[in-house]
Structures are given as C-alpha cells and as structure tokens.
Amino acid sequence: MVKSLEFDEFDQGLGTIEMRRGQTWPHQQLSWPQMVRQRHLSNFLRRHGFVDEQSPRGLCGKVRLELMYPIHVAAQMGDVPILRILLDLGVDPQTGAADGRTARHFAEEANRDGSHHRILQLLAHSQRVKSVAL
C-alpha cells in the first residue's frame, strides 16, 4: 500500500512524496529540537543561495556573487542561532572567502557598537575549543 502526502511550501516544497507502509520518514529519526534546527538551517541556506552548509555560493544565474560560505553570511548578518548550528555541525570558522576573509573578519566589519559581540564570542570560543582538541 502506498500513501501519498502533500507538503506545503514551508516543508521545503517537495511536492507529493510516496512512502511504502512500514517505512519511516527521515524526520522521525530526529528529535523535535533537531528538526527545528534542521528546518531553520535549510531555510537559511535556501534563502541565501547555498546548496549545503559546507559549499560556497559563487554563481547565481548570470550574476556573480562574492565567493562566500554560509558561515560568512551568518557572521556578517549577526545570526547567532545559525552560526551556532553551523559550528555544531563542524563547519570550520577559519574557512576563507575568495579574498581570504574568515567569518571573524565579516563579523568585525559588520560590527556596529557591539552589534556582533555575541558572534565574535562564539567564533573565538570555537577557535579555543578547536585548538585544545588538536
């Protein structure tokens, strides 16, 4: 028996998905907080033109965007929840953009009167943890 379910656009616009009886949905393997974090990250990546958390955004149609990674955009925007998710997934905060700037550089450039203080703290902490682990 095959059951057909519709997902709305918020559920990643996957359209109709067919599952055989007894199969589990991928989201059933995640806890509720993990599902929320995954959806939040997926929305962020899609909104900013990324295919995943490790790949850069380069070409977008005929428009060439600056070669940046999701961690750079999150740091530049001051998006603490997304930055935390990316760091938890093991994204390297020292990954450089095309011009060599790291997430810390983007955060420092965007920082106005301490607006990115928490981002800078998270990045500094992740570097300390990484250096201790090595």
DSSP-derived letter for residue 30 is: S
Nearest to 118 by CA among 52, 74, 54: 74
Number of CB atoms found within 10 A of residue 75's CB = 32
pLDDT bracket for residue 127 (50, 70, 90): confident
Q: Centre a 10 Å sphere on the Cβ of residue 99 and count the other Cβ atoms it contains.
A: 9
The size of the chain, in residues, is 134
For 105, the 3-state DSSP assignment is helix
What DSSP element (H or E) covers 84? helix 80-88
Structural domains present in the chain: 29-133 (1.25.40.20)
Model confidence at 55, in pLDDT bands (50, 70, 90)? very high
What one-letter code names the amino acid at 61? Answer: G
Q: Which of 13-17, 53-57, 76-80 has the lowest mean pLDDT?
A: 13-17
Interval 59-83 mean pLDDT: 83
Give the highest mean pLDDT range of 9-13, 93-97, 105-109, 129-133: 105-109
